[in-house]
Structure 1
């Protein structure tokens, strides 16, 4: 990444959130055996690894022994995982590449040209139809999209979204969420001002533009000044979800690692089913309830979610934000605006990580603990019991992401 670009510092933290981001053992299943999960590891020596496994409940995996080392000039943890495949934008080749892990190596399957594009958000529209929303590089001013068939890796439609470009003192922007609402598309975003290589600021406003789909022409734009930076780069960490009733919840993230407006409130906001603007009567003030800023939100079903919140008393600033264990996990009730409890887990490190997935009433939570090691913990959604599952040992420094592979 060009550190002299005008991209806000929080995107530099993509590199830092995991720092920041071989033969298989019997506990690893190869692609032909239909592995269920993938694990992305950053090693103590800076090497990155991809592992696949048929379970996360127990055992010990060593990335240097059980994983596949990655070429970080070709791949990083901003990866989309589905149906046994990995999709990643290779900026050097100006292409979206589809990979499979096979025969102890990451193999390219197909590719599709995708130039001057920086992915901010991905959304599976249905089946193999994938919508990528991003910004035109290198200035990060124009919101662009690529609608494609991920099965054939052929474009369906590409172009610009009719969303206002930055103006005045704001010189770049970020897209935080994309939600399909019938024949409409709702895009949440905000604007930023770069103050220097290591400093930036953010507008105090969340913007939501309603677009016609798939024309991508604007219908209207709503502004909400209750908080800023809606959602986040969801190839790195999830911050929004649809519930079973069709309501859409998203986190506004003004903390230093994203919006860098720490005087504003981290909150959960909601777009009700069939509506196109944030509910003016709903505002879950997480900063007040938890006492800290939060980044990342994962749906558990039944109106419950897990959020990952920083402990501002434990880190000094951006320089040690990725490396200092200071993150806690909370169970929240988004329907009733309540923090139900802090999960009894070790303090976690890594600024932003894709670290929670749910399967069969178990929430698997990866925790990078300096004192207890790197584990994938199991949280029983019925009983509330927390137990250690799989351990990632050996060269493991950070578990950067865990994903359902199938």
Structure 2
């Protein structure tokens, strides 16, 4: 469910254009960036900060984003970017050219909707996208796109009820694909006032036959609320080394807004259609706060990003308060250890990147600092390794381009 309240997106709903102009075209010809940081700048503009290395060594350039046609919500894979332009319902493919200008290369017209979630089918070029219609936010659809030829292979309505009792806003929060079956975690919300909403006390897990979209199994879970979230904005799930699937619920004020329910991590074991009801990692019970964002590191370890209720007033300053902490989570022992990096701001960001023996964090800390921090997995050492453009207000995303 994508709820477009101004207060929920302060500092974020600035757009990213389809055509970009490079600040230094001549220098870019010999520049081969490996990383892209997507910035919201102090003047309200957006830009990409492209780097050869996440350390201060190597070249970097900043690409201005002059247009306001494109939000920060995009899908990236191997240097190609995909975006669903909700204003006119076009799904667009674009990429950096030889001069590091971002150009649109193709588009597909979808039906009216908000993009809620996506998954790559078995790590192929086939992309599954899941939307909720704009008019009622009560009906979902699935689109299947061959990204190599950039053609629409299939589009079909999802077989979910439009409402549960008086909760009539559908949210498609987590998606998994195994053995030609779709597994979708979803929930329902409702408006309390024109600017406030809440989510029901039940999470739904549906297993669907991919060919027919017939529902093979439906499981209800009342241990938490609001599974996952819009994963073009932030990650909420991952598969571990053994093939078990983990996902996080987000009932905090920034997503589900059902504060009585705990933020928690759940597990669907390899080969199973149902969530393992014997497993629940209650994050809120341990840290006494809600959290958003889940990044798997390997070895049964993950990173989460938590708010601090005592530091922000309400949602009006939730995004601008330096409050966010990062925790190392052991999924097997359920132990949480805080990582020693400065407090971050920005309600939801895709700013954690796991690469080999390191985890990189793009952090916006007090004193107008916008830095890359490196966490060494083996020994827990933390280092600040580089700084980003002084014009930035938020680092919204960190992507590896290769």
Q: 1:381 aligns with which of 374, 377, 381?
A: 377
Tell me the SS of whatever aligns to 1:289: helix
- Please report the TM-score for the alignment, with normalisation by the length of structure 1: 0.92
For 1:172, the equivalent position in structure 2 comes to 169
The C-alpha deviation readout for 1:115-148, integer Å capped at 9, x for no partner, is: 3121111111132111111212232111111101
Distance in 1, Cα, partners of 2:360 & 2:332:
22
Q: Which runs of 5+ in 2 are unaligned?
A: 16-21
2:204 equivalent to 1:211: no
Distance in 1, Cα, partners of 2:113 & 2:342:
38
The C-alpha deviation readout for 1:15-72, integer Å capped at 9, x for no partner, is: 336489943499x966x8553221100000100012322211225998xxx3222245
Tell me the SS of whatever aligns to 1:234: coil
Displacement of 1:316 in angstroms is 0.3
Tell me the SS of whatever aligns to 1:319: coil
The C-alpha deviation readout for 1:334-390, integer Å capped at 9, x for no partner, is: 122111x11111110000000101112110111110236111111011121111122
Distance in 2, Cα, partners of 1:311 & 1:285:
16
Q: 1:401 aligns with which of 394, 397, 402?
A: 397
Q: Which runs of 5+ in 1 are unaligned?
A: 1-5
Q: 1:48 aligns with which of 46, 49, 69?
A: 46
**Cα gap change, 1:246/1:24 in structure 2, threshold over 3 Å: closer, same or farther?**
farther
For 2:77, the equivalent position in structure 1 comes to 82
Displacement of 1:12 in angstroms is 5.3
Deviates more, 1:168-177 or 1:346-355: 168-177
Q: 2:280 aligns with which of 264, 283, 288?
A: 283
Displacement of 1:288 in angstroms is 1.0
Displacement of 1:8 in angstroms is 3.4
Distance in 2, Cα, partners of 1:20 & 1:194:
25
Tell me the SS of whatever aligns to 1:278: coil
Q: 2:9 aligns with which of 2, 15, 31?
A: 15
Q: How does 1:36-185 map to 2 (within 5 A)?
A: 36-58=34-56, 66-102=61-97, 103-125=99-121, 126-185=123-182
CA RMSD between the two structures: 2.2
Distance in 2, Cα, partners of 1:293 & 1:269:
15
Displacement of 1:256 in angstroms is 0.5
Deviates more, 1:295-304 or 1:194-203: 194-203
Q: Are the counterparts in 1 of residues 2 and 171 from structure 2 also a CA contact under 8 Å? A: no
For 1:3, the equivalent position in structure 2 comes to none
Q: 1:35 aligns with which of 33, 36, 54?
A: 33
- Please report the TM-score for the alignment, with normalisation by the length of structure 2: 0.92
Tell me the SS of whatever aligns to 2:310: coil
Distance in 1, Cα, partners of 2:25 & 2:357:
28
Tell me the SS of whatever aligns to 1:321: coil
Displacement of 1:113 in angstroms is 1.0
**Cα gap change, 1:382/1:100 in structure 2, threshold over 3 Å: closer, same or farther?**
same
Deviates more, 1:316-325 or 1:90-99: 90-99
Distance in 2, Cα, partners of 1:25 & 1:360:
32
Q: How does 1:198-347 map to 2 (within 5 A)?
A: 198-339=195-336, 341-347=337-343
**Cα gap change, 1:224/1:131 in structure 2, threshold over 3 Å: closer, same or farther?**
same
